[in-house]
Structure 1
């Protein structure tokens, strides 16, 4: 872990914090710094800020991050479940428990390790530890994730995510019986001020977040819903479901203490639609529910017959 700290001098006053941080940490790209700021790894006068924060004279800035040079991402044969692949993109059906990219104390068994074994032509925009990674899904969330094989594809997919033209559909089993057949949760998400390891619906240093949902099936104590992400904030569906008092079953971070123990949250990215970076055609891929998720649904249905 690397720690840096400095005070803002007169020549930097009124500059954006990400620009100032880039000046002092030249080894980090602007996008990496912006991610660190979003994650709350950079503090100004002891508090997290947004990327567009304008620094003031004598602001005390602290930054903690893992130096990529200290880490390694060896190629590993992880038998990735590849549901689509061509010369520009790969779409993976990620299993529960797999982390997307290496980090301190977790340098093996990640999706990146498996990608490096499978192919060498991955985009380099996100650096050596995140080659090809355009977006992420949580460790214990299953399902579809798209990876770019070259920088052109990466930029195209990143723009589509920014413009909200990538369609991402998830199945989630949530606690309680939802009253409405469909709805929209429009609530900003930011770092939980009481627990830096969690996200929360908050007005403090938050970002716009929108999740659309519709009921697929109701049970006595649960509801199976389909969620569509309009934005892609960290833990978005999990936080939004908790916010409307229907937390995801199995979620050890945001659900009830007595939530079902199923090895992770029952949240699955089942459909992904994007515009192909080279052909301009719409591509849609699907991934069925993983066996453990399907088995739990089957068990609930049998118990209620």
Structure 2
């Protein structure tokens, strides 16, 4: 396909994104693979387009997402006829999406847990809430629509317990605190969330567990569940998560992503009405880095 620029002055990736249905990330990838040319020549995504430029582009072939059972390791902490609680490993994506077409938690659930709620369709069967790819820890899974509706309603009413532990940069001065700052998509980077007046309300409670020379070990409790909430809020107050590739500094603790673990999950059982609470320890790499920080203080 080809378009002619009527008004120049903008970056190639932004201009093409504005004039087509392609995202800037798709355009940048297409530029790298030679699917986009300007006047018959390859240009960088940062190229400043000129009036009259003829941009030729090919639409990247869509990735096929695989919603099929896969025999992947799955740590099922609890399971009954209505729900399950699983301990997601760090590095696992919750459901198939662009860039992660298989090997997700959903693929594992379809293999290990035969009955899953259908409220979110084939895309997210059984998924009531999510964790970021590199965040480990507890997730509730609904096995039927009745359980899904009840668990989701409790989350919306802010009655569920979601408590995390994290290692953050710097020394958090207050032992306890509440971060109340609205979160929405960043206007500067579509991959990121940000504190913005146009965002949705977001509240994060924190409690300092240990302080080290350059880091703090925290317990955090979510009152709301916005995308990247803890990561955004901690960066907002000047204490980004250690290992966070999106919101943190480059010089950080070596690991496999942000040091954030969903340690405790509590909710009301949708059928029995019983209060249920589960806790799991952080992954080995989290515990090892924590011990290293403690030894460095001796």
State the TM-score, normalized to the length of structure 2. 0.78
Deviation at 1:259, TM superposition (A): 2.0
Aligned ranges 1:17-32 → 2 under 5 Å: none
Query: What is the CA–CA distance in structure 1 between the aligned matches of 2:106 and 2:65, rounded to whole Å?
Result: 13
Does residue 1:144 correspond to 2:130, yes or no? no
Does residue 1:300 correspond to 2:293, yes or no? yes
Q: In the superposition, relative to structure 1, how do residues 67 and 274 fare at CA in structure 2: closer, same or farther (>3 Å)?
A: farther
Partner SS for 1:116: helix
2:264 is matched with: 271
Aligned pair partner of 1:280 in 254, 273, 277: 273
1:98 is matched with: 92
Count of aligned residue pairs for this structure pair: 238
Query: What is the CA–CA distance in structure 2 between the aligned matches of 1:243 and 1:230, rounded to whole Å?
Result: 17
Aligned pair partner of 2:255 in 241, 262, 279: 262
Aligned pair partner of 2:232 in 208, 216, 239: 239
Deviation at 1:261, TM superposition (A): 2.6
Partner SS for 1:270: strand
Deviation at 1:108, TM superposition (A): 1.4
1:162 is matched with: 156
2:168 is matched with: 174
Report the RMSD for the aligned CA atoms in angstroms. Answer: 1.4
2:103 is matched with: 109
Deviation at 1:67, TM superposition (A): 9.3
Query: What is the CA–CA distance in structure 1 between the aligned matches of 2:105 and 2:129, rounded to whole Å?
Result: 12
Is the Cα–Cα contact under 8 Å of residues 72 and 129 in structure 1 kept in the other structure? no
Partner SS for 2:232: helix
Query: What is the CA–CA distance in structure 1 between the aligned matches of 2:62 and 2:221, rounded to whole Å?
Result: 35
Query: What is the CA–CA distance in structure 2 between the aligned matches of 1:108 and 1:215, rounded to whole Å?
Result: 38
Deviation at 1:81, TM superposition (A): 0.6
CA-to-partner distance for each residue in 1:243-285, whole Å, 9 max, x for gaps?
Answer: 0000000001001121223110000000000000000010000
Does residue 1:125 correspond to 2:119, yes or no? yes
Specify the structure having the higher radius of gyration (Cα). Answer: 2
CA-to-partner distance for each residue in 1:37-81, whole Å, 9 max, x for gaps?
Answer: xxxxxxxxxxxxxxxxxxxxxxxxxxxxx999x533111111201
Query: What is the CA–CA distance in structure 1 between the aligned matches of 2:92 and 2:211, rounded to whole Å?
Result: 30
Does residue 1:219 correspond to 2:212, yes or no? yes
